[in-house]
Amino acid sequence: MKIFITGASGFIGGSIAAGLVNAGHAVRGLIRNPEHAAQLQRLGIEPVTGTLDDRALLIAEARAADAVINAASSDHRAAVEALIEGLAGSGKPFLHTSGSSIVGDASGGELGAAAIYREDALPEPTADKAARVGIDRLVLEAAQQGIRSAVLCNTLIYGHGKVAGSASVQLPRLVRQAQKSGIVRHVGSGGNIWSNVHIDDVVELYRLALEKTPAGTFYFVESGEASFRDMTAAIARAMKLGPAQDWPLKDAEREWGYEMANYGLGSNSRVRGERARRLLGWQPQRTSVLEWIEGEMMSA
């Protein structure tokens, strides 16, 4: 299969692209920086230099490919619209990457109600997440335009990516703050819980979805969960630092910004992904983020 993927130099997109090459697919990957081209080529990925604002390029690549994966941004509506235009009426698969902060409660790092959400009972989004959810719905509705579209809503992803220098969103930020200050910190009391998944299992799910997903399907991507208090305690042990400490939300916002402090690190995001297992036969192999933190995180 000829696959076009955006975000090919990133943690998620690069890992997916490399995994699909290893599975025998021909992959073209969108990159903003031409300096990343050589590294992609070493992974067997054909680089395409451009941005998500290059509408004509995205349409042309979508039309030329057998399948498209958007792994560059969950929030760039114009890019998604361009890819849908290029795919309309083709019957080709289109996988869009979203994130489970869409159900985040911005609890300030506290456990609170910590509701668990399922794929067939999604809540109305907060004002902060309404635009992202609108893009997810646009992708799902593309099934009515003859596209085998799906939204893969990832949780906290851990593991080492295939592209050198790329990193996941949440845990590396905690590590960098600890390296800078000598203290591992979590937002508030750290009682908030996130579902999580290993990057290798993410890659396998995208491969399966390309082959099997029904049109218009939404998936939560998860294989476990942990509180930030437990994750920062594991980080402190792995880094051989003192006990992790509580951090007021306002201090966390100054370090990480509003979005990351309130949603990426300071919310509950508990979900259950049943469809990938039932519809695609996905069987995640890694289920403990705490074991990975203590045993593998610092080995990169």
Q: Please, which pLDDT band fits residue 279 given cuts at 50, 70 and 90?
A: very high
Q: Which pLDDT score is estimated for 229?
A: 98
CA distance 268 to 155: 11
Q: Which pLDDT score is estimated for 183?
A: 98
What average pLDDT does the segment 192-202 reach?
A: 98
Coil, helix or strand at residue 156: strand
9-28 pLDDT tens trace: 999 999 999 999 999 999 99
Q: Which pLDDT score is estimated for 149?
A: 98
203 closest CA partner among 36, 39, 41, 43: 43
CATH of domain 2-106+115-158+197-222+271-283: 3.40.50.720
**Residue 247's beta-bridge partner residues?**
187, 188
Question: Is residue 61 within a helix (H) or strand (E), and if so which, with residue range?
Answer: helix 55-64
**Residue 154's beta-bridge partner residues?**
99, 221
- Residue positions counted in the chain: 300
103-131 pLDDT tens trace: 999 999 999 998 999 999 999 999 999 99
Q: Which pLDDT score is estimated for 220?
A: 98
CA distance 192 to 21: 37
Q: Which pLDDT score is estimated for 299?
A: 84
Residue 300 pLDDT greater than 90, yes or no: no
Token pair of 125, please? 């989004």
Residue 146 pLDDT greater than 90, yes or no: yes
What average pLDDT does the segment 155-181 reach?
A: 96
What DSSP string describes 88-131?
TTS--EEEEEEEGGGG----SS--TT--EEETTBPPPPPGGGHH
51-90 pLDDT tens trace: 999 999 999 999 999 999 999 999 999 999 999 999 999 9
Burial 122-137 (b: 16+ CB within 10 A, else e): beebbeebeebbebbe
Residue 204 CB neighbour total at 10 angstroms? 20
- The share of the chain scoring above pLDDT 90, in percent, equals 98
Q: Please, which pLDDT band fits residue 176 given cuts at 50, 70 and 90?
A: very high
CA distance 86 to 278: 30
204-220 pLDDT tens trace: 999 999 999 999 999 99
Q: What is the pTM of this model?
A: 0.97
* Class of residue 288 by CB neighbours under 10 A (exposed 0-12, middle 13-18, buried 19+): middle
CA distance 50 to 45: 15
Q: How far is CA 116 from CA 27, 111, 264, 268, 287, in A?
A: 36, 12, 17, 9, 18
CA distance 199 to 296: 13
Say if strands 116-118 and 93-99 run parallel, antiparallel, or are unpaired.
Answer: unpaired
Q: At residue 141, what is the residue type? A: E
41-51 pLDDT tens trace: 999 999 999 99
Domain boundaries, the chain: 2-106+115-158+197-222+271-283
Question: Is residue 26 within a helix (H) or strand (E), and if so which, with residue range?
Answer: strand 26-31
The angle that helices 77-87 and 130-141 make with each other, rounded to 10 degrees, is 0
- The share of the chain scoring above pLDDT 70, in percent, equals 100
